[in-house]
Structure 1
Amino acid sequence: MNRNKGFTLVELMVTVVVVSIVVAVAIPSFSDQIKNNRSEALGEEFASALNFARMEAVKRVGRVSLCPSDNGAACTNSAWTDGWIIFVDYAAADNAAPLTTQGGISNILRRWNKAATDSEISVQTNNAAINYIRFTGLGALARLNNPPTPVVVEAKLNGCKGDKARRITVGVSGIVNVAKIACDANP
């Protein structure tokens, strides 16, 4: 007698149920992992931009600034999550408004596009929001206040979990420090 080997309908249905349970449990966890990785990357990318601006200021022995820009061509009064630019800053003083038009587009060193729609970036000094960060030719943070105070940046994606948000502190000397913070921490 020739017997066919294969799965019965009951065995196939049990397998489908087990696979669907595993997928139902794994997919939410996987999407959380993706969100957490994107949150970390946002903070690390901003820290990298700050280090790049500082390095360019030292290399050029002049002011270099970073500001929010939704058009990639000039500083705008937009949110930091709308994108930002780094440019050679021809301002007359450390606490003067940044100048991006002198030298035109040629003085823009690098552009960042809009971050994810569910991202948050806050940039503050003395607990007040600021719309630019300037480095001097010595690599130090420009003295926007008297006495000078560090700049604190917090970056995260809404809905991230654990310590996947980042607090970036730019000291008066210009040194950039990145720390992990809880996603639900208040800026």
Structure 2
Amino acid sequence: MQKNKGFTLIELMVIIAILAIVASVAAPSFVGFLKAYKLNQAKEQVIQALKDGRSKAAANRAFVVVCPSKVKDGDVISKDKCLENANVSAADKQTFQDSNRVVIANLATGVEVSGDTYFVFGPTGTSLDSVSNKVPKAKKIVVCSESKTKEIEVTVLGNVNLKNSGVCS
């Protein structure tokens, strides 16, 4: 007599039921993990853009402007809008763009920022109020995703620090 190899229909249904139970238990924690991952990626994008901007400013001995790609209420920030926010004159905008002195932090869908929406680094890498007003100024930006936030601070000397976490307002 030949022996059949394989699974019966009952055995397959039991396995599928067990997998469904395991998946339903794991799904909520996986969704939370994805939300936290999205926020951390956005935070890292902003921090990297700020550090790139500071190092470009110090290396080229020139002003560099850094902006996030989106701000609160979903407004998309272009290089032109970024330079406009930083009080760069219309005559100087093209010079900034041609010499690659505008850094945009590209943020994923569903991520917004509030607080300071542009950062100006001076020729020594210090944080300034704006290109026209060269007063040293510490600034901070709040990255928000799925009602959780990460706060990033740029000191007067241009150092980038991660501050508090909280809830979006």
**TM range, normalised to the smaller chain?**
0.7 to 0.9
Decide whether the 8 Å contact of 1:84 with 1:113 is kept in 2: no
- 1:40 aligns with 40
Taking the aligned partners of 1:30 and 1:142, their CA distance within structure 2 comes to: 41
Which residue of the other structure, out of 166, 175, 181, is the alignment partner of 2:159?
175
Please, what is the CA RMSD of the aligned residues?
A: 3.6
Structure with greater helix percent? 2
Identity among equivalent positions (%) equals 28
- Give the CA deviation at 1:78: 8.9
TM-score, length-normalised on structure 1? 0.68
Matches within 5 A, 1:76-115: 82-83=76-77, 85=79, 97-99=87-89, 101-103=93-95, 105-109=97-101, 112=104, 115=107
Deviation for aligned residue 1:171: 0.8
Query: What's the secondary structure of 1:139's corresponding residue?
Result: coil
Q: TM-score, normalised by structure 2?
A: 0.74
SS of the equivalent of 2:93 reads coil
Q: Distance in 2 between matches of 1:16 and 1:68?
A: 46
Q: Say whether the 8 Å CA contact 2:151–2:164 is kept in structure 1.
A: yes
Structure 1: runs of 5+ lacking an equivalent: 71-76, 125-130
1:3 offset after TM fit, Å? 4.5
The alpha-carbon distance between structure 1 residues 41 and 180, as it changes in their structure 2 partners (threshold 3 A), is farther
Q: Classify 1:109/1:97 alpha carbon distance in 2 versus 1 (closer, same or farther; 3 Å).
A: closer
Corresponding letter in the other structure for 1:8: T
Read off the aligned partner of 2:24 and give its amino acid letter. A
Aligned length: 163
Distance 2:105 2:153 in 1: 22
Q: Deviations over 1:11-63 (max 9, x none)?
A: 22211111111122223322321221121010111011111111111111121
